[in-house]
Chains A and B, each alone.
Chain A
Amino acid sequence: MIFFQSFTRRDFIKKLSCFISLAVLGSLAFFRKKLKKPFALKEAYFYKRLNK
Chain B
Amino acid sequence: MASTVQCLLCPFQCILKENQRGICQVRINLKGKLVSLVYGKPATVHVDPIEKKPIFHMLPGSKSFSVATFGCNLGCKYCQNWQLSQSKPDDNKNYSIEPKALVKLAKNYRCDSIAYTYSEPIVFYEYTYDTSVLARQNRIKNVLVSAGFINPAPLKRLVKYLDAANIDLKGFTEEFYNKVCFASLKPVLKTLEILATSSVILEITNLIVPTLNDNMKTIKKMCQWIVKNLGAHIPVHFSRFQPMYKLKNLPPTPTETLINARKTALDAGLFYVYIGNVYTADGETTFCPRCKKAVIKRYGYTLLENHVTSKGKCKFCNEVIYGQWESL
Binding site for B on A (CB under 8 A): 37, 39-52
Contacts and interface: CB of A to CB of B under 8 A. Distances in A.
Nearest to B29: A47
Contacts of B129: 45
Interface of B: 1-9, 15, 27, 30, 32-41, 89-90, 96, 98, 125-127, 129, 151, 153-154, 157
A50 B35 contact: no
Contacts of A45: 9, 125-126, 129, 154, 157
A41 B76 CA distance: 27
B9 A46 contact: yes
A41 B36 contact: yes
Contacts of A43: 33-36, 126
A23 B41 CA distance: 33
B6 A47 contact: yes
27 contacts: A39-B37, A39-B41, A39-B90, A40-B40, A40-B41, A40-B96, A41-B36, A41-B39, A42-B36, A42-B39, A42-B127, A43-B34, A43-B36, A43-B126, A44-B36, A44-B126, A45-B9, A46-B7, A46-B125, A46-B154, A47-B8, A47-B34, A48-B5, A48-B6, A49-B32, A50-B15, A52-B4
B96 to A, nearest CB: 8
Given A39-B37, A39-B41, A41-B30, A46 B153 contact: yes
Contacts of B33: 43
A41 B35 contact: yes
